[in-house]
Structure 1
Amino acid sequence: MPPIPIKPGIYKIHAHIIGPSALVTATEHAVDHGAPVITDRLNPLPIEQEWLIEPAEPVPGAPYVVRLAQHVDAGLVTADDRLYVNAVSREQLARFTFETVIGGVKILSDKGLALRANHRGAQITLVEPKPEFQETWTLEFVSPAFEE
């Protein structure tokens, strides 16, 4: 499917996994490549669960970067086919595109790998895209960028 445009702004990213609602969440403890990014229950404190999605470059059709809404110096990076959040330069942030799928969107890396939530609490992995429930996401628009 062709990539779809996403309105720049602050979002909660819901994983389609069985059980209570699960959101993309930055964990509190860093490892080699940054803090692992998991799916977890809605829990606004102290875990970060709101993300700023914006084009990587100011040109139509550009891929997107994803940063923590409250700590914009930290954004999503990929290493070893896993998702992390880390304070790196904008050029080092992972780039993503979005495609419409049944029930939501598929989030794809610049290498064409899909984000996958295996179960709540597991680190999000990047896999070859398949039509699977665990690779489907819902983007809940919270607000335009940098507004409360």
Structure 2
Amino acid sequence: MPPIPVKPGIYKIHAHIIGPSALLTATEHATKHGAPVITDRLNPLPIEQDWIIEPAEPVPGAPYVIRLAHHEQAGLVIQEDKLYVNSVPRAELAKFTFERVIGGVKVLSDKGLALRSGHRGAQIVLVPPKPEFQETFTLEFVSPINEE
């Protein structure tokens, strides 16, 4: 399917997994490549669960980068087919496109791999895309970027 446009803004990214609602969450403990990104229940403090989605470049059809909304420099990076959040130069952030699928969107890396959430607490991995609900996400628009 062709990529769909996403309105730049602050989002909560809901993972479709079995059990209670889960959100893409940056963990508090960094490892070799940064802080692993997992799915977790809604936390009362949104610091690690609000994400800015914006075009990587100011041109139509550009892929998107995803950054933590409350930490200016921290964004999503991919290492060893796993998702991390780390403070790196913008050019080193992972780039993503979104495709509409039944029940939500599929988030694809620039290499065509899909984000997959196996279960609550598991690190997000990148896999060849398949029609599986663990690869489906819902983007909940929270606010424009400058209007938190």
TM-score by length of 1: 0.98
SS in 2 for 1:76: strand
After superposition, the C-alpha distances for 1:105-125 in whole angstroms (9 at most, x for unaligned) are 000000000000000000000
User: What is the CA–CA distance in structure 1 between the aligned matches of 2:119 and 2:47, rounded to whole Å?
Assistant: 18
Name 1:87's counterpart in structure 2.
Answer: 87
The structural deviation recorded for 1:47 is 5.5
Is it true that 1:32 corresponds to 2:24 in the alignment? no
Name segments (4+ residues, structure 1) moved above 6 Å: none
Q: Distance in 2 between matches of 1:37 and 1:26?
A: 5
Equivalent position of 1:68 in the other structure: 68
Deviations 1:68-125 (A, max 9, x none): 0000210000000000000000000000000000000000000000000000000000
TM-score (norm 2): 0.98
Unaligned runs of 5+ in 2: none
Q: Which amino acid in 1 is paired with 2:12? A: K
1:23 equivalent in structure 2: 23
Amino acid at match of 1:26: A
Q: Percent of aligned pairs with the same residue?
A: 81
Q: What is the rounded CA distance, in whole Å, between the counterparts of 1:95 and 1:141 in structure 2? A: 19
RMSD: 0.9
CA contact (8 A) 2:26 2:37 kept: yes
Segments of 5+ residues of structure 1 without an aligned counterpart are: none
